[in-house]
Structure 1
């Protein structure tokens, strides 16, 4: 029996490219059962475009308008909380899905009952959907980033049961996808399909701006120039808060993780993260100019 499928879309002033993404939902070989759009106080025609789409949509469309701006992380969390599907797809407002995306992802879930998250590759295109010839996974390979670090939210779907682990998303999370999909990767509860199942539009105003999302081929040298040394201390601070929140959540959710069969993996992840946190806090104190004597007393 086909599971109930939800699409959770977070929108904010996305009128320029939104229509193409909505239309790609309607041409899926397996249609979703519902689209939940959570709008974060847009001042353009975003909501009006979704409302017009709703009138002719072959599936249910639910529109929620936030009373105050939540920011994209908590806006996605709100959208997820409103979904009723057995499988929930995350969607940005400016991409385009291939027609087979839902069908192929559902097949992956069916073939691997232990998978909580399924991710797919995407082709990076410009604002007019002209291909860069580069996919996100290819960029990661060129940059020397392991595929286990692929956590891109707009390329992911998860079982509803996974939301009992990852919701609510804490304020310390670096991003919603690094939280939702990153935890699954750490527990070997996620699989990455080799399939390119969508276009990833780069238009200069994307919420994500990093090298693996760039239309220009990546390289370790470009990665070094981008991240070192500027902003290293701030990046490390954010990572420490994020990882500490994961350690806390894995402890709080242990009974649910045990029910899902991930208790041992969670215990191992907590131990490894705790070791990383000790080292990263040590490095942070060095970067903050703490004296050698003080460092040795940690």
Structure 2
């Protein structure tokens, strides 16, 4: 039986970009069963655009008054009002390619996944390609619970998931208490957004699939609430060199908070994130140990610590298995020579 599909959208002063996104929803080869929009008090004509679209859309459209307490709460408000068994997040300023919903719904069925996300072509304000993708999975792959990179957060606009991922938990993560105590994101150090929350639960208890197909245009127009990375390549590598013990300690705290919250909603995985926390604490301690030491002492201590960790603790295993990866090993070895960043 084909599941019902809800597109869940949050809007706020999106009149300039919204028409193209709405038209792309109406052009889907697999139409949604409903579009639920929560508007956070737009005063630029967005409500009128939505009302006009609702009158002619080939599917049901519901427009709600949003809570006016931020992006994440706005999406949560729309999600709670939706009824589909499959949920597709939608931003107000992108464009979906015609096969997006069909391909994602088929992928859920074919792979038994609970969540799928796909590649997207990054474009400018006029929808001209900028020459790179984000997200950018290079190959289609499916991952079981607690496999893959625990720090990877699939972009919401490129994510489709089963409602059971949330509803089958002992404590619904969208209920007020669970929502209010959700952990801070490692990306922003603020309470995690709607899409991060769902992807974290999927990591802990669901099967996830990454699709290499480009299924949307990800518009960058200078006023995005969240956008594609602006620092890439060599610049990103140089930026990583400035990260040191304090940031690693914060990452350890965040991992522990993820595990605690997952256990509180009944998703499990607390042991996994405790292991991650200890890994990052060891890295912070290693940086502090070599900080300010003479070169000979750094080499003696630092390389000895790295050798033990690389062979015994698997701290530098692939990020796909929860390790910090070969790049982290190279950086940590470099630190033993040039000193810890401040």
| Short-chain TM bin | 0.7 to 0.9
Find 1:121's aligned residue among 119, 122, 129: 119
Within-5 A mapping of 1:210-225:
210-211=228-229, 214=230, 218-219=232-233, 221-225=234-238
Q: Which moved more, 1:197-206 or 1:227-236?
A: 227-236
Counterpart in the other structure of 2:23: 23
**Compared CA separation, residues 230 and 93, structure 1 to 2 (3 A):** farther
Q: Does the 8 Å CA contact 2:135/2:155 hold for their aligned counterparts?
A: no
CA shift digits 1:226-251 (9 cap, x unpaired)? 566489968975x5665444212321
1:161 aligns with 2:174: no
Q: Does the 8 Å CA contact 1:41/1:69 hold for their aligned counterparts?
A: yes
Q: Which moved more, 1:161-170 or 1:118-127?
A: 161-170
TM-score when normalising by structure 1: 0.77
Q: Does the 8 Å CA contact 1:7/1:34 hold for their aligned counterparts?
A: yes
Partner SS, residue 16 of structure 2 = helix
What is the alpha-carbon distance in structure 1 between the residues aligned to residue 286 and residue 62 of structure 2?
47
What is the alpha-carbon distance in structure 2 between the residues aligned to residue 6 and residue 241 of structure 1?
35
Deviation at residue 82 of structure 1 after TM alignment: 1.2
Unaligned ranges ≥5, structure 1: 258-262, 287-298
Q: Which has the larger radius of gyration?
A: 2
Partner SS, residue 119 of structure 1 = strand
What is the alpha-carbon distance in structure 1 between the residues aligned to residue 38 and residue 222 of structure 2?
23
Counterpart in the other structure of 1:76: 75
Within-5 A mapping of 1:261-272:
266-272=269-275
Deviation at residue 208 of structure 1 after TM alignment: 1.1
Unaligned ranges ≥5, structure 2: 140-147, 185-190, 290-342
What is the alpha-carbon distance in structure 2 between the residues aligned to residue 244 and residue 205 of structure 1?
33
Q: Which moved more, 1:181-190 or 1:273-282?
A: 273-282
CA shift digits 1:185-244 (9 cap, x unpaired)? 355621111110000000000011452xx4x8x31x22145566489968975x566544
Structure with bigger helix share is 1
- RCO higher in structure (CA 8 A, sep ≥6): 1
Find 1:133's aligned residue among 125, 131, 134: 131
Deviation at residue 277 of structure 1 after TM alignment: 6.6
Within-5 A mapping of 1:1-298:
1-66=1-66, 68-113=67-112, 115-138=113-136, 149-164=152-167, 165=169, 166-168=173-175, 169=179, 170=182, 172=184, 173-187=191-205, 189-211=207-229, 214=230, 218-219=232-233, 221-226=234-239, 229=242, 237=250, 242-254=254-266, 257=267, 266-276=269-279, 278=281
Q: Which moved more, 1:178-187 or 1:119-128?
A: 178-187
TM-score when normalising by structure 2: 0.68
What is the alpha-carbon distance in structure 1 between the residues aligned to residue 136 and residue 245 of structure 2?
25
